Amino acid sequence: MTGTVYQIEVNPQIPERLERLEELAGNLWYSWDRPTQGLFASLSHPLWSATNHNPKAFLKRADQKSLEATAENPVFLGALNRVLSAYDSYHEMPNMAHVHGHPFEDDDLIAYFCAEFGFHESLPIYSGGLGILAGDHCKAASDMGLPFIGVGLLYRQGYFSQTLDADGQQQATYTDSDFDDLPVSPVLDTDGQELRVAVDLPGRTVKAKVWEVRVGHVRLILLDTWLPENTAHDREITHRLYGGDKTTRIEQEILLGVGGTRALGRLGLKPTVWHVNEGHAAFLILERIRHLVGDGMPFAAALEAVAANVVFTTHTPVPAGHDHFSEEMIRHYFADWCHALGMGCETLMALGAEPGKSDFNMTALALRGSRHHNGVSRIHGGVSASICRYLWPQIQPVENPMDYVTNGVHLPTFLAPEWFETFERYLGIGWQERQTEPGNWHGIAEIPDATFWSIRQQLKSKLLKLVRERIRAQHQRNQGSPAHLDRLLKFVDPDNPSILTIGFARRFATYKRAALLFQDPEWLRELICQSDRPVLFLFAGKAHPADQPGQEIIRKIAQMARLPEFEGRILLVEGYDLHLSRSLVAGVDVWLNNPIYPLEASGTSGMKAAMNGALNLSVLDGWWGEGYDDSGEVNNGWAIKPVPAHLDEAQRDAEEARSLYEILQDQVIPTYYRSGPMGYSPQWVAMAKRSIATIAPRFNVTRMVGEYVRKFYAPAARQGRRYAAGQFAVAHDVARWKEKVRAAWPGVRLHRLDSPERRLKFGAALHIEIAVQLNGLSAGDVTVEALFGRPGHNGGIGRVRHYPLQCTGATAAGETLFQLELTPELCGKLEYRIRIFPTHAALIHPFETGLMIWL
């Protein structure tokens, strides 16, 4: 047909009895409240699926007559009233209702900045783990009643949709979102007009529209530059998540950090804690400094005042993964900023400097502009301390200010609904409020094995049904034959989900080694092709469109899956998204993860699988380095021990693949198929129960956010107030003191005056005298201390006790004298060392200056 095509969408009128459905559709509380999701799905399952489980889009396309009939349906109205009662009770919860000890003041507010947020497939502004974690962080903040607001960008195109051709070649498709379909609404100013913020870029001013998302109690503020008053180039700034070139990237990050800070100001909000979640948002530090310097504060004092209440979380386990921009680019974008502050660009460049490199490092900026820093697991905290040690050059990484908070997951979002009734029966009413208490989970052992196994089989059946649908659509689009489809799906039987099913689903980055399983195809064939003990491997995930090595891994998996011996036993499922992810972590028997140690910062998918009763088989990296527990009668999973660091890449992969095959052959497969009289393996069920009981209380996001509150948020709020009091008197004092110390430190020297004793009788005193050339500093500016302990490994000291030396006067040479009289409390061999470092009562971390001298 010819002629112009005009489109129109006719939206139904929501009956009065159903009006509050629109309120439910406008709050992402639905993303973790399963009864709310079920309410919408019950209206029309096909439409619910077609709208990608998006309540707002669903209501815009619902059938008018169906809605009117539903408004007279007492069963639906009863379900609606129950959901609304739960919704209202949740939102009537007082602030900080679930925050231990109420550590905040009434005016405290935590502002959480992140480049992506992954709450639900209905709001596609995320790409992967960072976004999902940010979404879970906000959900937990809401559950706990924290004073909390998120800040991000509203992208027209979130991460791409993925299809795979017959050869495993990834095809990336980007689709513009219709903001009318998203659970977002424009923020209005006091005049009722849509709120805009302005951000200066070279030669022009960019306007951004401010949107709001409701996430339970929490607000999320998002910025969008797709406005008619902006140029075509500037509209594209927020067009695509992680899209474009370096220019787009720096403009997105300026908009996030600078524009986000200004948006909060326009809303009249004054955060007392600023959380920079990964380096993308670090430019907020510069914006806050600009504001204080504009009010007459010296730059150094402004930096101290800003840093006092900034929390920075790094998620990157390798130096190359940190965002960086050329000096030329920084000068281009921030020349006016430097001019307004009356300083040279060299001062700005120093904030992002990394030794031996000319680029401006966003992680370095975030670290220098914050006083509270963390990695996202115990192992990653140590890795990050080592990577970032150049910021504290005289401090050993183990003592520098880098801390860690191990990630967690939002249990109501990722625990399959099939578990809730059983958990309530055996863990007790209110078990979710007690989820961080290990004792809360002892009841898992009381669940009858048959009940537990039945739920696990139900979840696997649902997964296999979804996999059949995805593989069928994938096969038909690639014009495969029906006969071949039958071969591919011969082990994917939702009606008989007895096959051992192992899942691997995540971003296809090379360090994650998705293809490690295929290191020895003959051994693999022997493992998974036994007729009486078959194994099904499910692979899913995306590679960034620019990541050719990652896409090559996808092609390799597809190639292996086409081999006759692996056909139907290894399936590569396209279109990895949150919906498929939830099904996979709930339905597989084993969750496989084999990254290169120590490059897995944390990982969270294995946590989600574990709390659903799956068993982890993973390299001891990231969170699994803390989660694996073999101390009980049964283990809570299986661990691949990393090989020694001196082995080359080929040796490492060969050795760790061998460990993987041996664990599969000797433990995983025999244990699963060691059936008892009831048709399942009692040992497997015991391990699965222990997996839930040991992992759920430790690796949930409520514990994680509670740890942020205790270790970072409450101290940051407290320090921010302290530094700002009396017209920022402490910030001025600390800045002046640091300047004095840094100037004097190269001339500080210390030497010992007494002769070190080699032996003492128990009860005798050890006398230590140290003379220090302070080079203009006072004795109160430094701490001199002795560290005592048993001889440790690698030339270190074991468990250490710290004994400060006291200033007792001066030597004849004009040096300052420090002395210690100590009676050792232990017999045997002891070691001690002596050091000096700058000390000020207002320092947030004792070693934040990065200065220390060992005798």
Backbone φ and ψ for 752, nearest 5 degrees, come out as: -95, 135
pLDDT at 390: 96
Half-sphere exposure of 247 (CA within 13 A, CB side): 6
- Indicate the pTM of the whole model: 0.97
Going by the DSSP 8-state scheme, the letter that residue 668 receives in this structure is I
H/E stretch holding 524: helix 521-528
47-55: long-range contacts, CB 8 A cutoff, minimum separation 24: 51/181, 52/121, 52/122, 52/579, 53/120, 53/121, 53/122, 53/579, 54/121, 54/122, 54/181, 54/182, 54/183, 55/21, 55/24, 55/25, 55/30, 55/122, 55/183
pLDDT at 795: 55
Going by the DSSP 8-state scheme, the letter that residue 172 receives in this structure is E
Residue type, 705: V
pLDDT under 50: residue ranges of the chain: none
Contacts of 279 (CB under 8 A, 6+ apart): 312, 314, 322, 323, 361, 362, 363, 365, 366
H/E stretch holding 807: strand 806-810
Residue pair 572/488 in contact (Cβ under 8 Å)? The answer is no
Tens digit of pLDDT for each residue in 231-243? 999 999 999 999 8
Residue pair 472/573 in contact (Cβ under 8 Å)? The answer is no
CA distance linking residue 29 with residue 36, whole number of Å = 9
H/E stretch holding 335: helix 327-341
Residue 610: both structure tokens together: 């574990």
Closest CA to 409 of 690, 696, 719: 696
Residue type, 789: G
Number of residues written out for the chain? 855
The residue assigned the tokens 């530090």 is 285
Residue type, 335: A
Residue type, 683: Q
DSSP-derived pairing of the beta strands 831-838 and 853-854: antiparallel
Residue pair 146/96 in contact (Cβ under 8 Å)? The answer is yes
Backbone φ and ψ for 26, nearest 5 degrees, come out as: -95, 5
Tens digit of pLDDT for each residue in 650-689? 999 999 999 999 999 999 999 999 998 888 999 999 999 9
H/E stretch holding 610: helix 605-611
pLDDT at 797: 65
Contacts of 694 (CB under 8 A, 6+ apart): 441, 627, 629, 636
Residue pair 464/497 in contact (Cβ under 8 Å)? The answer is yes
Closest CA to 404 of 592, 601, 265, 585: 601
Residue pair 443/422 in contact (Cβ under 8 Å)? The answer is no
Residue pair 187/264 in contact (Cβ under 8 Å)? The answer is no
CA distance linking residue 435 with residue 696, whole number of Å = 7
pLDDT at 38: 97
Structural Rg of the chain based on CA atoms: 29
> Between the CA atoms of 282, 287, 292 and 297, what dihedral angle is there, to the nearest 10 degrees?
70
> Residue 769, exposed/middle/buried by CB under 10 A (0-12, 13-18, 19+)?
middle
Residue pair 43/70 in contact (Cβ under 8 Å)? The answer is yes
Contacts of 2 (CB under 8 A, 6+ apart): none
CA distance linking residue 554 with residue 151, whole number of Å = 34
Going by the DSSP 8-state scheme, the letter that residue 825 receives in this structure is S
Backbone φ and ψ for 209, nearest 5 degrees, come out as: -80, 140
Chain centroid to Cα 66, Å, comes to 42
Going by the DSSP 8-state scheme, the letter that residue 564 receives in this structure is G
Residue pair 614/688 in contact (Cβ under 8 Å)? The answer is yes
Residue type, 376: V
Sequence-ordered alpha helix ranges (H) in 210-280: 232-235, 246-254, 260-266
Closest CA to 605 of 574, 580, 638: 580
* Residues β-bridged to residue 571: 538
Residue pair 148/138 in contact (Cβ under 8 Å)? The answer is yes
Closest CA to 201 of 251, 152, 265: 251
Peptide bond into 598 cis (omega under 30): yes
CA distance linking residue 382 with residue 374, whole number of Å = 10
Residue pair 113/276 in contact (Cβ under 8 Å)? The answer is yes
> Between the CA atoms of 667, 669, 672 and 677, what dihedral angle is there, to the nearest 10 degrees?
-100
Residue type, 18: L
